Amino acid sequence: MGAPMSTGSFDIDTVVVGAGVVGLAVARALALSGSEVLVLEAEDRPGEGISSRNSGVIHAGMYYATGSLKARACVRGLALIY
Protein backbone atom coordinates (compact mmCIF):
# COMPACT_ATOMS: atom_id res chain seq x y z
CA MET A 1 0.00 0.00 0.00
CA GLY A 2 2.48 2.89 0.39
CA ALA A 3 2.39 6.09 2.38
CA PRO A 4 -0.84 8.06 2.72
CA MET A 5 -1.14 11.20 0.62
CA SER A 6 -0.44 14.49 2.36
CA THR A 7 -2.65 17.53 1.97
CA GLY A 8 0.27 19.85 2.76
CA SER A 9 2.53 21.60 0.30
CA PHE A 10 6.03 20.53 -0.68
CA ASP A 11 9.11 22.47 -1.74
CA ILE A 12 10.64 19.89 -4.09
CA ASP A 13 13.36 20.52 -6.69
CA THR A 14 13.23 17.13 -8.40
CA VAL A 15 10.88 14.16 -8.57
CA VAL A 16 12.44 10.77 -9.34
CA VAL A 17 10.02 8.15 -10.64
CA GLY A 18 11.04 4.67 -9.55
CA ALA A 19 12.86 3.44 -6.46
CA GLY A 20 15.00 0.86 -8.20
CA VAL A 21 18.78 0.88 -8.07
CA VAL A 22 19.10 3.59 -10.73
CA GLY A 23 16.31 5.81 -9.37
CA LEU A 24 17.70 5.67 -5.84
CA ALA A 25 21.25 6.35 -7.05
CA VAL A 26 20.05 9.40 -8.97
CA ALA A 27 17.97 10.59 -6.02
CA ARG A 28 20.93 10.20 -3.66
CA ALA A 29 23.29 12.10 -5.96
CA LEU A 30 20.78 14.93 -6.31
CA ALA A 31 20.17 15.06 -2.55
CA LEU A 32 23.91 15.13 -1.83
CA SER A 33 24.22 18.09 -4.20
CA GLY A 34 21.63 19.99 -2.15
CA SER A 35 18.41 19.30 -4.06
CA GLU A 36 15.16 18.49 -2.31
CA VAL A 37 14.17 15.17 -3.88
CA LEU A 38 10.93 13.19 -3.84
CA VAL A 39 11.07 9.54 -4.94
CA LEU A 40 7.83 8.00 -6.21
CA GLU A 41 7.47 4.22 -6.39
CA ALA A 42 4.48 2.15 -7.51
CA GLU A 43 5.45 -0.93 -5.50
CA ASP A 44 5.20 -1.37 -1.75
CA ARG A 45 8.97 -1.33 -1.23
CA PRO A 46 12.03 0.08 -3.02
CA GLY A 47 13.61 -2.31 -5.49
CA GLU A 48 10.50 -4.46 -5.70
CA GLY A 49 9.98 -4.18 -9.47
CA ILE A 50 12.17 -4.75 -12.49
CA SER A 51 13.55 -1.83 -14.45
CA SER A 52 12.48 -1.54 -18.06
CA ARG A 53 15.56 0.51 -18.98
CA ASN A 54 18.48 -1.60 -17.75
CA SER A 55 19.34 -5.24 -17.23
CA GLY A 56 19.36 -4.90 -13.44
CA VAL A 57 22.99 -6.02 -13.31
CA ILE A 58 25.60 -4.37 -11.11
CA HIS A 59 28.92 -4.88 -12.89
CA ALA A 60 32.12 -5.58 -10.98
CA GLY A 61 34.37 -4.22 -13.73
CA MET A 62 35.85 -7.55 -14.82
CA TYR A 63 34.52 -7.26 -18.39
CA TYR A 64 36.33 -4.03 -19.23
CA ALA A 65 39.95 -3.26 -20.09
CA THR A 66 42.09 -3.07 -16.95
CA GLY A 67 42.48 0.52 -15.82
CA SER A 68 39.88 1.90 -18.24
CA LEU A 69 37.42 4.51 -17.01
CA LYS A 70 34.58 1.98 -17.24
CA ALA A 71 36.50 -0.60 -15.19
CA ARG A 72 37.50 1.95 -12.55
CA ALA A 73 33.91 3.26 -12.30
CA CYS A 74 32.53 -0.26 -11.88
CA VAL A 75 35.07 -1.19 -9.21
CA ARG A 76 34.41 2.10 -7.37
CA GLY A 77 30.65 1.55 -7.56
CA LEU A 78 31.01 -1.97 -6.23
CA ALA A 79 33.06 -0.68 -3.30
CA LEU A 80 30.40 1.93 -2.50
CA ILE A 81 27.63 -0.67 -2.46
CA TYR A 82 29.41 -3.21 -0.26
Phi, psi of 37 (to 5 degrees): -120, 140
Q: Is the dihedral of CA 4, 7, 9, 13 positive or negative?
A: positive
Give the pLDDT of residue 12. 94
Domain range for residue 26? 14-49+58-81
> Using one digit for the tens of pLDDT, what is the confidence trace for 40-60?
999 888 877 766 566 666 666
Residue 19 scores a pLDDT above 80: yes
Domains in the chain: how many in total? 1
Q: pLDDT for 62-81, tens place per residue?
A: 778 888 998 888 888 778 77
Residue 9 lies in a domain: no
37 part of a folded domain: yes
The number of residues making up the chain comes to: 82
Confidence grade of residue 14 (pLDDT, cut at 50, 70, 90): very high
1 pLDDT more than 90: no
Does the residue 3 lie in any domain?
A: no
Structural domain contains residue 24: yes
Q: Identify the three-state secondary structure at position 13.
A: coil
Q: Residue 2 falls within a domain, yes or no?
A: no
